[in-house]
Amino acid sequence: MKSRSKRIVQSIALCLLLLLCAPVQAATWQVCATCPQRSIRQAIAQANPGDSVVVTGGVYREGNIEIRKPLFLIGRQRPVLDGRHKGEILTIRASHVTVQGFTLKDVEVSYLSDYAAIRVAEASHVRILDNRILNAFFGIYLQRASNCEIGGNRVQGQGKTETSSGNAIHLWYCQAINVHDNQVSGHRDGIYFEFATNSRIRHNLSQGNLRYGLHFMFSDGNVYQRNTFRHNGAGVAVMYTKNIVMQQNLFEDNWGAAAYGLLLKDISRSVIRGNTFRRNTAGIYLEGSSKLQVEHNNFEGNGWALRVLSNCEADTFRLNNFTGNTFDVATNGNTMLNFFSGNYWDKYNGYDLNKDKVGDVPYRPVSLYSMLVEHVPPSVMFMRSFIVDLMDKVEKVLPSIIPDQLIDEQPVMKRIEV
């Protein structure tokens, strides 16, 4: 009898223990015009960590909303957060927050503060997904954040000058950020990385931005691939950075007096592979670069395919296609410490007697006229004149000014599959 009572007591104690250990169910807080809760700010204040705040339709003008706990903030029927040009709209200061499905608009323009539609400050594992951001100073701004995801957003600005507009997606002192499938336009820079490392940028469309479609400053170890950079001041700028992988991107119609598909300044140990550079003023502009691998790219219809300044060294250009460019390669000095081999040049007039698909005579991709334009820009007015053609042909037969080392010893006879 005594042992039976003991077993009953043990069973009751076990049940109580299981009840105490049972997980607490996350709650969902509904916010809408006809709901008991009509304020997003108040719903966030009442929610516990891990809860969801679901906002349905409508326009909400609540000033700056701060999130300081893990939370799901979900928009249904695309609710609008209207900043009314007063500061920023949404500030996230906690990790494990998701914001999805909203339209945010009208962020204040300031010359003293970097106001943003969505700011993530000193947090990790934050997800910003499928939002529309209109007429913002800065769109999405991450500072000292890590392991976050920015995906499927559309950020559309109305910037008129670089000084009066911010960046669509801005990262400062961040790491391991996944930026994918966004569309950004109308800002100073489409996507900006400063001291942001080891991140991935994939499948984004950055077009119509005033300065750069994508901009790296002091940001090592990043990969960007399968993006499109179109109609920007310059497609991409990579500066003071190393170990960048750039592959399978499209740089298109970045056209203007100082425009580039890809601008490289003081960059080293990086890879440029499988990209298409089409109708840019200059496909790639290289200044102070070293130890780059530039291979399997298409250069089509650019003003200059490559502008390689003489302070670049140990860069390798191989297995690329050069077609329809006004100038294939230009440089500004008589020294060339880079290596060209196995490229396809549509201007190559050599022959292949042994049929090994490699030209029997080397190709010099720099023309005397391109050297002249590099030193005396107004001379471009003589393009396609008889005297220029004659000058180039004489220089190819008896090279005297162009760098001797700038030569492709093994030009291929047919276009390379990229």
Q: Which two tokens stand for residue 111?
A: 């010359």
Residue 26: count other Cβ atoms within 10 Å of its Cβ.
14
What is the pLDDT, as a whole number, of residue 15? Answer: 46
Q: What's the pLDDT at 164?
A: 84
pLDDT at 378: 61
Residue 149 CA, chain-centre distance (Å), reads 14
> Alpha carbon 333 to chain centroid distance?
32
Q: Which pLDDT does position 252 carry in this prediction? A: 95
Q: From CA 159, how far away is CA 140, in angstroms rounded?
A: 15
Note the pTM of the prediction, 2 decimals.
Answer: 0.87
Strands 293-295 and 313-318: parallel
CA–CA separation, 5 and 21 (whole Å): 24
Answer yes or no: are the C-beta atoms of 213 and 187 closer than 8 Å: no
Separation CA 139–CA 144 (nearest Å) = 17
Contact 38, 56 (CB under 8 A): no
Quote the pLDDT of residue 393. Answer: 63
For 23, 46, 377, the CA distances from 49, given in Å and listed in that order, are 13, 10, 63
The pLDDT assigned to 24 comes to: 57
How far CA 338 is from CA of 32, 154, 407, 414, in Å, comes to 63, 41, 10, 23
pLDDT score, position 379: 59
Q: Are 124 and 146 in contact (CB under 8 A)?
A: yes
For residues 183 and 153, what is the distance between their CA atoms, to the nearest angstrom?
A: 6
CA distance linking residue 142 with residue 174, whole number of Å = 7
**Among all chains, which residue has been given the structure tokens 């399997």?**
296
CB 93 within 8 A of CB 122: yes
Q: What's the pLDDT at 389?
A: 62
- Which pLDDT does position 6 carry in this prediction? 59
- Mean pLDDT per 10-residue run, the chain (418 residues)? 56 49 75 94 97 97 96 98 96 98 95 94 98 97 98 94 92 98 97 98 97 97 97 95 97 87 97 97 95 98 93 96 93 84 94 93 80 64 59 60 80 93
Q: Rounded to whole angstroms, how far apart are CA atoms 289 and 142? A: 29
Q: Measured in Å, how far apart are the chain's first and last C-alpha atoms?
A: 85
- Asked if residue 312 lies in contact with residue 339, where contact means CB atoms within 8 angstroms, the answer is no
**What pLDDT does 1 receive?**
46
Task: Please report where in the chains the tokens 């030209």 appear, as a residue.
Answer: 359
pLDDT of 288 reads 95
Q: How far apart are CA 148 and CA 178, in angstroms?
A: 6
Give the number of other CB atoms < 10 A from CB of residue 275: 29
